[in-house]
Structure 1
Amino acid sequence: MQVQDTDLKLLRIFETIVRCGGFAAAQPILNIGASSISEYMSQLETRLGLRLCERGRAGFRLTEEGANLHAAAQRLLGAVDSFHMEAGALRNQLSGVLRFGMIEATLTDQYSPLPIAIREFGQMAPEVRLHVQIETPGSMEQHVLDGRLHLAVGPFPVRIPGLDYLPLYREEQGLYCASTHPLHERAKGRVPVSLLSKQRLAARAYLGSQELKLLRMPEAAASVDNVEGRAMLILSGNYIGFLPPHYARPWVDSGLLTRIDPEHYATHLDFQIITRKGAESARVVQAFCNQLRTAARQLNHTTRGGKKHVD
């Protein structure tokens, strides 16, 4: 199959439908009606000779062929976006679509360089369109490797071959329990690890082994790969768990959460920028990375005690 401009248009529509989870949710994003979306999908399926999805009363679901095509389409569209960025750079113009990933629940962190970097980059390169995806660290690593993302920002505790890792900033982590948890009354004092080891831990899926080792626990009672899910479990009063203090602050201020023995159970996550190893980054990608690093250094000068850093 030779890919033509019309095919790229159909693939972008297909990618948006999958990202939104169905035809109806994709309508406001694509700014077209349901009948038009259905017609475009029929054209794509006819062009490929494949059934890509099931849609009807049971809801939207990709077929096996559809899931495989979606992954291939993301790689192709990422490569096309990279080409447009590089072509623009030849004209000394920063343009194209920059696809980058980040983890959720970082917006309330005053030390995150992302808001400043996005502001400065937007002023420097107004012709670049940002495509932001919120993902888990493992998913971001895979998607940078296969070209679906140009870069990603997050905590990546285990380095994997094929990626370059650039230190960016540090996020503090505290151990918390709810006001209804048995540890609440003594949480602000010294809490021995022998007592913590008997509690039920809601662990981070990508850092569970480190947390278990720190608290000397044989296993976690729950494993959650996002901050909101972990906060919900902790707020139930049945679990303890680590959260970023900037995220936990509203519940601490309202008395629903208490930080446990912060002097002895303060940890951190090192956030990094990841890009694909061995690939010459487009000028747009390099420019955004530079803005992230510059913003992180600026914020580092205003911190107390050097808790946040850029190497």
Structure 2
Amino acid sequence: MIEIKGLTKKYGSFYALKDLNLTIEEGTVFGFVGANGAGKSTTFSILATLLQPTSGEAWINGISISQSPHEVRKQIGYMPDFFGVYDQLKTDEYLDFYGASYGLDAQQRAVLIPKLLDLVNLSNKRNDYVDLLSRGMKQRLCLARALIHDPKVLILDEPASGLDPRARVEMREILRELKAMGKTILISSHILPELAEMCDTLGVIDSGELIAHGSVQSIQEKLQSEKVISVKLTGSFADAVRFFENDPLVSQITEIRERGILQFLYKGTEEDQLALLRKAITVGMPVLAFSEEETDLEDVFMEITKGAGTL
């Protein structure tokens, strides 16, 4: 488990991180969402014991990051957004070097390295020099490096940054496998739909402050005061428009005639939606389908950060 209380990082009068309070349960995947400069990397660097906070504290599996940083490093695998590789080493030599740095003996490393290369789909690149690998392969190699000491917690800062679509899919599948292994994973990304698929909970950070926290669904429900309803019709649009205009919970009706669909904003609850549908059928509206449109994570993110100053 990761527990964060009042974590703050200040540079002069500028707050890179301000009074962050957060609890992440063991075995979950937590996604950190925010624009560049919002405070994601600052938070991850502090949790990785690479940056001292101005104030506040955090514990990883009960170990204080400020009082016992060396013990914390045994618990975590950290993958920064920008990382270096030793170009004159082969892939297995690169992992062997880091395994030795963590105190693994030669026999342990000989058993572990092939397993890690298989996990990150690099077994066929074992004897290739690191500088000949593609960016996506280097990203996966860096992930294997973060796993070399079998940490309980993974802190991954933009692991899919700069990857092509295929490489992003491969990275996502690896992270799913790590989640199934029981790892606690903190991940930041600008590829928001992929975070929604991978993460149990999300945190949205803006200007150093956590402005929303919870599941994707709970964040959507909290922010969406109006839902988008689509109604597929077989009859007259004019009659349907007049019918829905008379409902006080309906606004901004849009006709999509080529698809036979009427869309509008709706302020009511699910029970209100059901009552509206029943009424439409009772008065003879030719309704083929009545559904609430899903709002994707980009819409949620834009809505949250747009109102960050007032939340």
Structure with greater proportional strand content: 2
**TM-score when normalising by structure 2:** 0.27
**TM-score when normalising by structure 1:** 0.27
- Pair member with larger Rg: 2
